[in-house]
Amino acid sequence: MTPGGVNAGIKFFEPYPIFMRRARGSHVWDVDGNEYVDYLMSYGALILGHGSEIVVRAAESVFTSVGTTVMGTPTEMEIEYGKTLRDLYHKDGLLRFTNSGLEATSLALRLSRAYTGKRKVAKFEGHYHGAVDHLLFSYSPSTGSAGKAESPVPIADSAEVDNRFLSDSLVLPFNDWEATHKLIVSHAKELACVIMEPFEEGVIAGDPRFMGNLRKLTRDLGIPLIYDEVKTGFRVRLCGAGEFYSITPDLTCLGKIIGGGLPIGALVGDLEIMGLLDPRKERKRRVFHSGTFNGNPLSLSVGNATVEELRRKGRFDTLRMRTTRLKQALSRSLSQRQIPHTVAGEGGMFNIYMTSKPVRNHRDVQNSDMRLRRFLDIELISRGVYLKPENRYCLSLAHTEDDVETTKERFAESLDAEMPRSN
Ligand SMILES: Cc1ncc(COP(=O)(O)O)c(C=O)c1O
């Protein structure tokens, strides 16, 4: 019925994706009735777990207090929740809601181009910014085809990504300052922005010096720096990766958690750049942005309740401590069996790479033992621990100590399963 059985390419995995029927808290059940501890958490979007009472109450309250799901005019909730997000991410800035992460990143590009009058977009190899043609390159190139590590070439991630988008792009090597500096300086006159996941794949941290240097260089050259915090927002820290590094980018893209499980995105940032969206601006400089469901009361109310809960004293620390306990336990299990691995991630998510070497960017990920990782993940799924193979572990406030204990046991059993030899 759907190509590959999925409605989003990212949801597919070999041998086939699993159809789920229902979910509650930290658990999901498939159509055959099998139960799993869920570490996908809808790619990190659900931080209170499935079907949280807080979410249900917030959704119900929209019908009782607002009386509708969408109005087509500004509403009070846009001020209330917008202000919360703005104050957490860019105190002196402005914010626009969108319906998805990719709409936020697309808007960030359009604004940067209008602001600088330049076209070229610099992005990092291995960083994902949504299924939008302007940014759909070099997310997951195989190392063989992507040029030298210090000067990667743009590789389209989809058929029919127009060559125009590739020629408007510059690909940078994450965590290699010398090469990144050289590439940015030599293209500075054409660059409209530098966009990045401040933690690659949401988990691989930038070296603090690399991140600091990049902020300084882009500021000195007048190139807007965009943090795409769709994964890291409210997961790495309450105020995202910006807080972790003590760096304020010019624009921040948000999504996932900020909708509490409903579709949403947001762009927040610099007054002058965001000000170009003001419909009162003279036509020549004005940037158009619209969307029927932007800022709809349902997504905003649920998002607001979710973020309020997360900001309650001790809530984020609980999530962080439970995540740390799990990642340390899994790492111990691997070490006991002398399996080379590196664990990466901060706050409420992490990933495990099967290599003894430091994992600093996409090339290092490609050089890890992905076959072993896939094997392990399928073994885990068959034992009732669900995550998308090779993807990161995302925890929620619904995950319990029992979940952690069960996962530790199932992980150890999976490690002791015999991996078939490759042909
Ligand atoms: C860093 C990042 N940016 C953008 C997006 C796109 O968000 P959406 O799927 O809501 O369009 C994603 C989605 O996973 C993401 O991880």
Q: How confident is the model over 229-278, as pLDDT tens digits?
A: 999 999 999 999 999 999 999 999 999 999 999 999 999 999 999 999 99
Gap between the Cα atoms of 222 and 60, Å rounded: 46
Q: Is 230 in the pocket of ligand 1 (CB under 6 A)?
A: yes
Gap between the Cα atoms of 35 and 153, Å rounded: 44
Tell me, in angstroms, the distance from the centre of ligand 1 to residue 113's CA: 21
Tell me, in angstroms, the distance from the centre of ligand 1 to residue 79's CA: 24
Q: How confident is the model at residue 161 (pLDDT cuts 50, 70, 90)?
A: confident
Q: Which residue CA neighbors atom 13 of ligand 1 most closely? A: 130
Contact 353, 364 (CB under 8 A): yes
Residue 284 has phi, psi (to 5 degrees) of: -60, -35
Q: Which of 128, 139, 386, 393 is catalytic?
A: 128
Strand 265-269 to 349-353 pairing: unpaired
Q: Give the count of alpha carbons within 13 A of 127, CB side only.
A: 32
Q: What is the pTM of this model?
A: 0.97
Q: Which of 168, 176, 228, 403 is catalytic?
A: 228
Q: Is 228 in the pocket of ligand 1 (CB under 6 A)?
A: yes
**pLDDT for position 252:** 98
**pLDDT, mean over the chain:** 96
Q: Which long-range contacts (CB under 8 A, 24 or more apart) does 406-413 make?
A: 406/37, 407/37, 407/39, 407/326, 407/329, 407/330, 408/326, 408/329, 408/330, 408/333, 410/380, 410/383, 410/384, 410/385, 411/329, 411/330, 411/333, 411/380, 411/385, 412/333, 413/379, 413/383
Tell me, in angstroms, the distance from the centre of ligand 1 to residue 30's CA: 25
Express each pLDDT in 359-392 by its tens digit.
999 999 999 999 999 999 999 999 999 999 999 9
Task: Using most ligand atoms within 8 A of CB, pick from 10, 200, 256, 351 the residue to mutate for ligand 1.
Answer: 256
Q: What percent of the chain has pLDDT over 90?
A: 93
Strand 265-269 to 251-255 pairing: antiparallel
Q: Residue 22 is which amino acid?
A: R
**pLDDT for position 422:** 66
Q: Is 276 in the pocket of ligand 1 (CB under 6 A)?
A: no
Express each pLDDT in 75-90 by its tens digit.
999 999 999 999 999 9
The region, left, alpha or beta by phi > 0 then psi within -120 to 50, assigned to residue 314 is left
Q: Cα dist. 109→67, 216, 353 in Å?
A: 35, 20, 32
Closest CA to 355 of 346, 367, 345: 367
Gap between the Cα atoms of 121 and 107, Å rounded: 13
Tell me, in angstroms, the distance from the centre of ligand 1 to residue 229's CA: 9
Express each pLDDT in 114-131 by its tens digit.
999 999 999 999 999 999
Gap between the Cα atoms of 117 and 338, Å rounded: 54
Exposure pattern of 76-90 as b/e (b: 16+ CB <10 Å)?
ebbeebbebbbebbb
**pLDDT for position 369:** 96
| Residue 386 known to be catalytic | no
Q: Is 391 in the pocket of ligand 1 (CB under 6 A)?
A: no
For the residues 396-412, what does the mean pLDDT come to? Answer: 97
Residue 109 has phi, psi (to 5 degrees) of: -65, -45
Q: Is 129 in the pocket of ligand 1 (CB under 6 A)?
A: yes
Structure-block tokens of residue 313:
């004293």
Tell me, in angstroms, the distance from the centre of ligand 1 to residue 332's CA: 31
Q: Is 258 in the pocket of ligand 1 (CB under 6 A)?
A: no
| Residue 408 known to be catalytic | no
Residue 279 exposed, middle or buried by CB count within 10 Å (0-12, 13-18, 19+): exposed
Structure-block tokens of residue 231:
């994964």
Q: Which residue CA neighbors atom 7 of ligand 1 most closely? A: 101
